[in-house]
Amino acid sequence: MTASISSTLLHWYDRHARVLAWRNPPGAALPDDPAWPYRVWLSEVMLQQTTVAAVKPFFEKFTAIWPTIEDLAAASEDDVMAAWAGLGYYSRARNLVKCAREVAARGGFPRTEQGLRELPGLGAYTAAAIAAIAFGEHAVVVDANVERVVARLFAIAEPLPGARKEIRERAEDITPQERAGDFAQAMMDLGSGICTSKAPRCLLCPISDHCRGLKAGEPERLPVKPPKKARPERRGTAYWIERDEHVWLVTRDGKGMLGGMRALPDDGWTARADGSPRAGEWEMLGVVRHAFTHAQLTLAVVRDTGAAPPEGAGEWWPIARIEDAGLPTLFAKAARLVLSRD
């Protein structure tokens, strides 16, 4: 059964694989190009908790600015963080720079899953994916899409996260010795386009004949997830301090939420003291809302054209070039609100 699943899925992938800038054509030999592992690694880091559609323009931008791992290793962290702005989960960008410098110092990427795990920011999934896709190693790749496909395929009814041990064992059973990278990407494509979390398209699934979840009549129920915890509500204030067609921007602390990013000064809604301004004739412009993984934030945006900037490092940024500042999505929303009021 397991050999039939893998061969059937690879045959389907050969005909239906998504064409993506960071992918090798199905069944093709691995590119003889030193930039190939770099492109695989970069795409996998960007795709963590992020959709393919969102990643495409960022991947194109990064590879245009920094075509090789050596180019990225030589870049300043500020430039990388600014280019990353809008992609979210900013710790990935900080680890991206650390990893690039480590790889450049080593003279290239480790070729094994174990060696890749030693690099900054690479967990079990990412290391396995790079080993399989970039180097053709036999590695078992399990992301959320693969997890869903395997849970349904074998009708694994134990709730997550407890089910993950069996899911991995079953994924290992069906991963072929050859073309492990193609197989991993086939599973990802199947999960993202057919075996979707809601309304799976079972009639189009190439391995539906093997699916125990479908035979049981309720594939959409799997995998069984624990109930979601309600995200707490937070409130805060962002300060737009304007002078001579410039706005005062700060760089957030390297650790914590949105660490290392340019931003507007705020009142410490992240439970940190940042020396935000208090005195001034503040004009209330409105609020912006943003959903983080762990909390919902409502941020009031106020403006003053005469207030002194808060203590600490910062810079006067031309308002006409605010889009070039690399503000994270939250503060980009605040900037757009201010500009819409002018």
Residue 44 annotated as catalytic: yes
Record the tokens describing residue 327, joined without a space. Answer: 């503000």
∠ at Cα 29 (26, 35), nearest 5°? 100
CA distance 315 to 210: 60
Q: Give the integer Cα–Cα distance in Å for 262 and 312.
A: 13
Residue 21: Cβ-neighbour burial (10 angstroms; 0-12, 13-18, 19+): exposed
Active-site residue identified among 44, 113, 118, 245: 44
Q: How far is CA 84 from CA 42, 78, 79, 127, 177, in A?
A: 12, 10, 9, 21, 36
- Which helix or strand (DSSP H or E) is residue 289 part of? strand 283-291
- Rounded Cα–Cα distance for residues 256 and 91 (Å): 9
Q: What does the block give as tokens for 192?
A: 């993202």
Under 8 Å between Cβ of 193 and 172? no
Q: Return the active site residues.
A: 44
